[in-house]
Amino acid sequence: MIALAWNCRGMGNSRTVQELCGLVHLYHPKIVFLLETRVSVSRVSNLRWRLGLRNCLAQDSIGLSGGIALFWDESVDVTLLSQGNAISMC
């Protein structure tokens, strides 16, 4: 699998984090994109070590909505084009 995208509806729940880690370890995606993380960038950033994906870009949630995160493997070349309420990359 090259990429995994998931509208996780919140990463504050430990079961959600466990499920994500299980999917990543089962399918070994090179890129993981999460929508509606509903947590801070620092909390999302800590996930990269558990996922085994060393690179991370994230946007904070606003209250209990929003938040996006992009994780990728070192073998993938990602270029950030812009960052705001969305992440643009190529």
Residue ranges covered by each domain of the chain: 3-72
Using an 8 Å Cβ cutoff, are 90 and 70 in contact? Answer: no
Instruction: Please give the average per-residue pLDDT across 35-52, as a whole number.
Output: 91
Task: Return d(Cα 65, Cα 37) in angstroms, integer.
Answer: 8
**What are the structure tokens assigned to 35, written together?**
């929508």
CB-based contact 56:71 (threshold 8 Å): yes
| Model confidence pLDDT, tens digit, residues 3-38 | 999 999 888 889 999 999 999 999 999 999 999 999
Burial of 18 (0-12, 13-18, 19+ CB in 10 A): exposed
- Separation between Cα atoms, residue 67 and residue 26, nearest integer Å: 25
- What architecture does CATH give domain 3-72? 2-Layer Sandwich (3.30)
Q: Is the pLDDT of residue 42 over 80?
A: yes
| pTM > 0.75 | yes
- Residue 87 confidence (pLDDT): 62
Strand-pair partners of 87:
83
The mean of the pLDDT values for the chain is: 88
pLDDT of residue 86: 60
Q: Which residue has the higher pLDDT, 83 or 80?
A: 80
